[in-house]
Amino acid sequence: MIADKFTEEAERSRALGIALAFISFGSLAGLPKLPVPPLQQTLDMYLKCMSHLIPEEQFKKTKPIVEKFGAPGGMGEFLQKKLLERSEHKANWVYDYWLEDMYLSNRLALPVNSSPVMVFPKQNFRSQSDTLRFAAHLISGVLEYKSLIDGRALPVDYARGQLAGTPLCMDQYNKVFTSYRLPGPKIDTLVAQKSTVMPEPEHIIVACKNQFFVLDVVINFRRLNEKDLYTQLERIRKMADIEEERLPPIGLLTSDGRTQWAEARSVLIKDSTNRDSLDMIERCLCLVCLDEPSGTELTDTNRALLMLHGGGTDKNGGNRWYDKPMQFVIGADGCCGVVCEHSPFEGIVLVRGSPSKLVRAASMSELPAPRRLRWKCSPDIQAVLNVNSHRLVKNLDMNVNKFTGYGKEFIKKQKMSPDAYIQVALQFTFYRCHGRLVPTYESASVRRFQEGRVDNIRSSTPEALAFVKAMANSSKITDAEKMELLWTAIKAQTNYTILAITGMAIDNHLLGLREIAKELKLEKPELFSDTTYATSIHFILSTSQVPTTEEMFCCYGPVVPNGYGACYNPQTDHIIFCVSSFRESAETSSDLFVKTLEGCLKEMQDLCIKGNTEAKPTDSTEKMDGNTKVMKNGSKS
- Give the CA distances from residue 100 to residues 104, 331, 511, in Å, rounded to whole numbers and listed in that order: 5, 34, 11
Handedness of CA 623, 625, 630, 632 (dihedral sign): positive
Contact, 489 vs 467, CB < 8 A? yes
Number of helices and strands (H, E) in the chain?
A: 20, 20
Residue of 137, 203, 342, 509 marked active site? 342
CA 223 to CA 201: how far, in whole Å?
A: 10
Query: What is the C-alpha separation between 559 and 635, in angstroms, rounded?
Result: 6
DSSP at 613: G
Q: How far apart are the first and last CA of the chain?
A: 45
- The contacts of residue 224 (CB under 8 Å, 6+ apart) are 216, 217, 218, 232, 361, 364, 367
Contact 460, 431 (CB under 8 A): no
Phi, psi (deg, nearest 5) at residue 411: -65, -40
Give CA–CA dist 290/203, Å, rounded. Answer: 16
4, 18, 10, 13: which is closest to 337 by C-alpha? 18
Known catalytic membership, residue 89: no
The Cα–Cα gap between 293 and 123 comes to 12
Alpha-carbon gap, residue 141 to 498, rounded angstroms: 36
Q: Is 216 helix (H, G, I), strand (E, B) or coil?
A: strand
Instruction: Say if strands 575-582 and 189-192 run parallel, antiparallel, or are unpaired.
Output: unpaired
Strand-by-strand arrangement of the 440-445 sheet = 396-403, 575-582, 564-570, 541-545, 440-445, 454-457
* Cα dihedral value 131, 133, 134, 135, nearest 10: 90
What residues form DSSP beta bridges with 579?
Answer: 399, 566
Catalytic residue positions? 342
